[in-house]
């Protein structure tokens, strides 16, 4: 028996082989089809249009897990569908619970063997808000941006996900919820990958999620988080969907942000904030700024003041999230009193600020922190070298020196422009 190299990779501390060398199922995912495409497919196969409607109903509303279970369709049609499409492109290999059942991490195996993760978070009803069920989805396997505090960044880039591979994470969560008579209320693009570097597929997924004939989720219940791909933000602005835009800012000063978000070397912080401002103006929607708080790195009074200066008067909201420990960095999350002091300073300057905590940390399910365990464990010497490099870079950044290293290149060449 041959064991695929991808399965052995973790034992040798290797990254899995690039996807170009891995065979993929050539059949598209059925959930990537628009209603018009479904009708066209039915027509081409001599089927009446209502068959397309039945297929979409099964895909988006049914509890079935395969074409074979869709009993509203004749067996011959089920066979035709099976030959042309995949019912599920993000098979759930495993579901792990955390936070006393309030967080569920789903591990999805794609047809080429790559693993991506989604996180379902339950928020019980409170006096001021109804029950919420929010899914954090992955948009890429790996990520090219390489933020040093992020487990996905450490993986490097594997490949973009297809639209179907994104929405199938949502269909899995919805099927699990529906089994208990519940519904998914929110989707956030904060899992693995940089959504604005796979913008066409992400827009396809948003369209499917919003379409009342498919998933039917309100645009205001969808959040896209970006590390600052300016052409992608501009493209979103032109479309002006009512989705929430979240910017992973982490630092207001360029020297430090060059290190924390390497993409800053291409699109510096003022350009990112200017593009986000245009999005807020075009949509009337408040932009969210995320700051992962790292002890003694980006949590000083000077950082708070620089951020307040940058965002003063903006339609914005800041979320402060203490960093979750990841093995390959020497850093730790900021202590709570430091985060509170930072928040107070921002609020005093008139910037709306909330302190948040990542869910699911005990199963490696924190948003943006996914797939750590699948990356394989690098040799201790490699970890040590990486840590030393991060320390040297951040020491230079804290002295105000900007990085001379080039900005990361998006793998597929798409920058959302
Ligand atoms: N690539 C996009 C979306 C995925 S990352 C982006 O960067 O915005 C989602 C969020 O998780 C980002 O705000 C990221 O900064 C955060 N994150 C990543 N690693 C983290 C860690 N170790 N602790 C806390 N937050 C982290
Ligand atoms: Fe990529 Fe976001 Fe992680 Fe940065 S934080 S490496 S952009 S997934």
In tens digits, what is the pLDDT along the chain, a chain of 417 residues? Answer: 333 334 433 333 334 445 556 899 999 999 999 999 999 999 999 999 999 999 999 999 988 889 999 999 999 999 999 999 999 999 988 888 888 889 999 999 999 999 999 999 999 999 888 999 999 999 999 999 999 999 888 888 999 999 999 999 999 999 999 999 999 999 999 999 999 999 999 999 999 999 999 999 999 999 999 999 999 999 999 998 899 999 999 999 999 999 999 999 999 999 999 999 999 999 999 999 999 999 999 999 999 999 999 999 898 999 999 999 887 788 999 999 999 999 999 999 999 999 998 876 666 655 555 554 555 566 777 778 888 888 888 888 888 888 888 888 765 444 444
Which is nearest to 51 in space by CA: 27, 26, 32, 30? 30
Which entry of 117, 154, 290, 415 is annotated as an active-site residue? Answer: 117
* Edge-to-edge order in the sheet of strand 186-189: 91-98, 103-109, 115-123, 132-136, 186-189, 222-226, 244-248, 287-293, 316-322, 353-355
User: Which numbered ligand comes closest to the C-alpha of 156?
Assistant: 2
Domain 30-84 is in which class?
mainly alpha
Is the beta carbon of 415 within 6 A of some atom in ligand 2? no
Strands (E), 127-259: 132-136, 140-142, 157-160, 186-189, 222-226, 244-248
Is the beta carbon of 329 within 6 A of some atom in ligand 1? no
User: What is the 3-state composition of the chain as percent helix, strand, coil, each rounded to the nearest 5?
Assistant: 40, 20, 40
Strands (E), 190-285: 222-226, 244-248
CA 258 to chain centre: 21
Is the beta carbon of 369 within 6 A of some atom in ligand 1? yes
Is the beta carbon of 264 within 6 A of some atom in ligand 1? no
Which is nearest to 143 in space by CA: 226, 243, 244, 70? 226
Q: Report which protein residue has its CA nearest ligand 1's atom 17.
A: 368
- Homologous superfamily (CATH) for 9-15+90-398: Aldolase class I (3.20.20.70)
Is the beta carbon of 148 within 6 A of some atom in ligand 2? no
**If you measure from the C-alpha of residue 150 to the centroid of ligand 1, how many angstroms do you get, rounded to a whole number?**
6
- Among 190, 198, 261, say which to mutate for ligand 1: greatest number of ligand atoms within 8 Å of CB: 190
> What does the alpha-carbon distance between residue 3 and residue 11 come to, in Å, rounded to a whole number?
12
**92 labelled catalytic:** no
Is the beta carbon of 138 within 6 A of some atom in ligand 1? no
pTM: 0.91
Structural contact between residues 319 and 358, judged by C-beta atoms closer than 8 angstroms: no
Sole residue written with tokens 């919420």: 132
**If you measure from the C-alpha of residue 26 to the centroid of ligand 1, how many angstroms do you get, rounded to a whole number?**
32
Report pLDDT for 375. Answer: 52
**147 labelled catalytic:** no
The full 3-state SS of 277-335, as one line of letters, equals: HHHHHHHCCCEEEEEEEECCCCCCHHHHHHHHHHHCCCCEEEEEEECCCCCCCCCCECC
Sole residue written with tokens 């970890």: 383
Domain ranges, ordered by start, for the chain: 9-15+90-398, 30-84
> What does the alpha-carbon distance between residue 150 and residue 325 come to, in Å, rounded to a whole number?
9
- Among 136, 189, 368, say which to mutate for ligand 1: greatest number of ligand atoms within 8 Å of CB: 368
The number of the ligand 2 atom at minimal distance from the alpha carbon of 143 is 1
Q: Estimate the crossing angle of helix 199-210 against helix 163-178, to 10 degrees.
A: 30
Q: Report which protein residue has its CA nearest ligand 1's atom 26.
A: 368
């Amino acid at each position: 028996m041959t064991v695929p190299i991808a399965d052995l990779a973790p034992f040798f501390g290797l990254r899995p082989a690039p996807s170009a060398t891995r065979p993929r199922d050539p059949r598209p995912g059925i959930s990537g089809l628009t209603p018009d495409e479904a009708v066209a497919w039915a027509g081409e196969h001599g089927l009446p249009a209502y068959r397309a409607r039945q297929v979409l109903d099964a895909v988006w509303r049914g509890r079935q897990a395969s074409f074979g279970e869709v009993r509203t369709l004749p067996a011959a049609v089920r066979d035709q569908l099976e030959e042309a499409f995949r019912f599920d492109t993000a098979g759930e290999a495993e579901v792990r619970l955390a936070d006393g059942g309030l967080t569920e991490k789903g591990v999805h195996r794609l047809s080429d063997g790559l693993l991506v993760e989604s996180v379902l978070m339950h928020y019980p009803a409170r006096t001021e808000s109804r029950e919420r069920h929010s899914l954090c989805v992955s948009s890429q396997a790996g990520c090219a941006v390489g933020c040093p505090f992020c487990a996905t960044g450490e993986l490097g880039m594997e490949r973009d996900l297809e639209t179907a591979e994104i929405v199938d994470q949502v269909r899995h969560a919805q099927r699990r919820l529906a089994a208990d008579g519940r519904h998914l209320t929110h989707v956030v693009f904060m899992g693995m990958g940089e959504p604005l570097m796979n913008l066409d597929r992400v827009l396809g997924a948003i369209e499917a999620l919003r379409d009342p004939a498919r998933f039917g989720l309100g645009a205001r219940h969808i959040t896209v988080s970006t590390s600052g791909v300016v052409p992608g933000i501009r493209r979103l602005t032109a479309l002006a969907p009512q989705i929430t835009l979240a910017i992973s800012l982490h630092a207001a000063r360029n020297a430090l942000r060059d290190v924390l978000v390497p993409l800053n070397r291409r699109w510096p912080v003022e350009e990112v904030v200017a593009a986000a401002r245009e999005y807020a103006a075009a949509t009337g929607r408040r932009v969210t700024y995320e700051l992962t708080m790292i002890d003694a790195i980006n949590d000083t009074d000077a950082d708070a003041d620089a951020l307040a200066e940058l965002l003063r008067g903006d339609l914005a909201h800041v979320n402060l999230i203490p960093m979750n420990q990841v093995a390959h960095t020497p850093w730790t999350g900021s202590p709570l009193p430091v985060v509170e002091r930072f928040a107070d300073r921002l609020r005093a300057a008139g910037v709306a600020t909330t302190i948040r905590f990542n869910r699911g940390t005990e199963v490696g399910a924190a948003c943006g922190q996914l797939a750590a365990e699948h990356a394989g464990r690098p040799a201790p010497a490699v970890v040590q070298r990486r840590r030393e490099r991060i320390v040297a870079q951040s020491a230079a950044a804290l002295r105000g020196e900007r990085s001379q290293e080039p900005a990361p290149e998006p793998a597929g060449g798409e920058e959302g422009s």
